[in-house]
Structures are given as C-alpha cells and as structure tokens.
C-alpha cells in the first residue's frame, strides 16, 4: 500500500489553488462580520430628510431647553414633561406634532442610511448609534431617556 501512496503525488497546483481559495473565502467573510456603516453617507433622499430635520430644530430647541422634550437612547425624541410643553407652546398639540414629525424624519433617515450602505438589516444599530451621538452632543440642561427608560438631565 505504501508503494501505491508513493506513486500518487498530489498535484502541487491543485493544492495551492485550494489553499488560495480557502484564504480568499476567509478574507471575504471577515469584513462582513466587522463592517461598519458609513453614517455620513449622503444621497438625495438623505439630504432632503436632513434639511427637514434642520429646519424643525429651531422650533424644537425651546422645548428641549425647557425640558418638555428630551432625546431617547433609540435615536428619537419624546415628550418628557407635558406641563412644560404646554407652558412653552401655545398648545400641547403643537409639541406633539413637532415630536411626531421629527421622529418620522429620524426613522426615515436611519432607514435611508441603512439602504445607502446596502444593509437594511443595520437600521436598528444605526438608530442606536445616532441615539448615543445625540445624547453625547446634547446641550447641558437637556434631558435624555436612557435605555432603561429613566430621564436624566445632562450636566
């Protein structure tokens, strides 16, 4: 049997080809596991959403300053104190509409960023990342709701 094995020599080319193929498969699968979304990507639809958010920010700022509205860990905003919202705005309904419109744009932004990255499945991670960014960049005195649901005033 050993004489037979000595006669059968593996083809060096096929072994090298198989090894290179295995390495290529490993290298191609690694970036997918560790890929990071481009959060600064811009498409025409993303630019429209960003413009809408930017225009609304001036109307939201007094409510953020008063503590009526706060940021959330999931990248949205929420009414924190309805009585403060009524004191700042002519009506509570106006604040509710601002919050609802802003959250709709935020959700659209996260969805579009995920799509622009070719990974719709990243939407929740993008949302969470933006939530962290917004909270980290929030002005002193603004409120944010952590992932446990607790409202915290930014020092």
Pairing between strand 151-153 and 77-79?
A: unpaired
**Predicted confidence (pLDDT) per residue in 45-75, tens digit:** 999 999 999 999 999 999 999 999 999 999 9
For the chain, the structural domain boundaries read 2-34, 44-153
Q: Rounded CA gap, 66 and 80, in Å?
A: 10
* Residue 81 near residue 64, CB atoms below 8 Å: no
| Average pLDDT rounded to a whole number, residues 84-110 | 85
- The band of 32, judged by pLDDT with boundaries at 50, 70 and 90, is very low
Q: How far is CA 80 from CA 53, 97, 142, in A?
A: 20, 14, 11
Angle 142-148-154 from CA coordinates, rounded to 5°:
20
Give the model's pLDDT for residue 56.
Answer: 97
pTM of the model: 0.74
Helices 92-116 and 123-137: crossing angle, nearest 10°?
130
Given a cut of 80, whether residue 34 has pLDDT beyond it is: no
**Predicted confidence (pLDDT) per residue in 100-145, tens digit:** 999 999 999 999 999 999 999 999 999 999 999 999 999 999 999 9
Q: Rounded CA gap, 152 and 136, in Å?
A: 12
Contact residues for 127 (Cβ-Cβ < 8 A; gap 6+): 74, 75, 76, 107, 110
Given a cut of 70, whether residue 29 has pLDDT beyond it is: no
* Residue 63 near residue 95, CB atoms below 8 Å: yes
């Amino acid at each position: 049997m050993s004489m037979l094995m000595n006669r059968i020599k593996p083809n060096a080319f096929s072994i090298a080809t198989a090894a290179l193929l295995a390495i290529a498969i490993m290298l191609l699968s690694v970036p997918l596991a560790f890929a990071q979304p481009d959060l600064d990507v811009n498409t025409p639809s993303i630019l429209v959403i960003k413009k809408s958010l930017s225009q609304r920010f001036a109307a939201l700022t007094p409510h953020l300053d008063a503590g009526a509205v706060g940021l959330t860990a999931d990248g949205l905003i929420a009414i924190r104190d309805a009585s403060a919202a009524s004191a700042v705005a002519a009506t509570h309904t106006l604040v509710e509409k601002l919050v609802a419109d802003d959250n709709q744009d935020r959700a659209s932004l996260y969805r579009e960023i995920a799509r622009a990255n070719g990974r719709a499945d990243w939407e929740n991670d993008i949302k969470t990342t933006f939530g962290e960014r917004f909270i980290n960049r929030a002005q002193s005195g603004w409120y944010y709701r952590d992932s446990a649901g607790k409202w915290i005033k930014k020092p």
